[in-house]
């Protein structure tokens, strides 16, 4: 095993990321948002959610390098993630029409989110919201974004 691969696997294992850990996203559309770890996929990516009703973050896959794990844990008990399979994140195949008409109609067709994804989001959110409702401040904590100011020193912070 190459040295870099060994280092990467040891870092991923040492994270101690367990289901229910609150993470901070560092990149992408939802950077700075706090999310709850729902599962890990076979390739090592983290599956997280806001929950959507609290802070607008849907079920997403995130690379472990782009999160900060906090010390906050939410006891989720037995979380049902059976609806989240490898096909859950697959994109719908688009028509590959060429020509002038296809070029001008390209931006018109907004795709609606499939019902299966809406149901999966609702079931996972309901389970997480039950656990979040036990602590009065947890929903506010998850809804708040993480930011750094001028004099903040991240290396000295305890997450």
Model pLDDT, residue 57: 94
> Percentage of the chain with pLDDT > 70?
82
Residue 110 has a pLDDT of: 67
**Confidence band for 10, pLDDT divided at 50, 70 and 90:** very low
Query: Which position has the higher pLDDT, 1 or 93?
Result: 93
How much is the pLDDT for 9?
A: 52
Its sign, for the CA torsion 100, 104, 107, 111, is negative
For 8-37, b where at least 16 C-beta lie within 10 A, e where not — what string? Answer: eeeeeeeeebebbbbbbbeeeebeebbbbb
How confident is residue 13, by pLDDT bands cut at 50, 70 and 90? low
Task: Assess whether pLDDT exceeds 90 at residue 107.
Answer: no
What residues form DSSP beta bridges with 60?
48
Kindly give, in sequence order, each residue whose CB lies less than 8 Å from that of residue 63, ignoring residues fewer than 6 positions away: 45, 46
14 pLDDT tier (thresholds 50, 70, 90) = very low
DSSP secondary structure of 17-44? --TTEEEEE-SSTTTT-EEEEEEE-TTS
**pLDDT (tens digit per residue) in 115-159:** 888 888 899 999 999 999 998 899 999 999 998 888 888 888 887
Q: What is the pLDDT of residue 79?
A: 84
The per-residue pLDDT of the chain, averaged, comes to 83
User: For 28-41, how does the pLDDT look when each residue is reduced to its tens digit (9 = 90+)?
Assistant: 999 999 999 999 98
pLDDT value for 2: 63
Residue 59 near residue 84 (C-beta atoms within 8 A):
yes
């Amino acid at each position: 095993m190459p040295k870099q691969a060994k280092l990467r696997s040891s870092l991923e294992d040492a994270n101690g990321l367990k289901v229910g850990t609150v993470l901070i996203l560092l990149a992408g559309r939802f950077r700075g948002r706090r999310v709850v770890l729902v599962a890990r996929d076979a390739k090592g990516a983290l599956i997280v959610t806001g929950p959507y009703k609290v802070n607008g973050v849907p079920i997403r896959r995130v690379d472990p390098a782009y999160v900060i794990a906090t010390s906050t844990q939410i006891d989720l008990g037995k979380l049902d993630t059976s609806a989240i399979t490898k096909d859950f994140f697959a994109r719908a195949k688009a028509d590959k029409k060429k020509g002038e008409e296809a070029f001008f109609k390209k931006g018109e067709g907004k795709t609606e989110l499939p019902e299966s994804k809406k149901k999966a989001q609702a079931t996972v959110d309901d389970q997480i919201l039950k656990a979040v409702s036990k602590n009065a401040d947890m929903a506010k904590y998850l809804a708040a974004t993480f930011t750094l100011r001028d004099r903040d020193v991240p290396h000295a912070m305890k997450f």
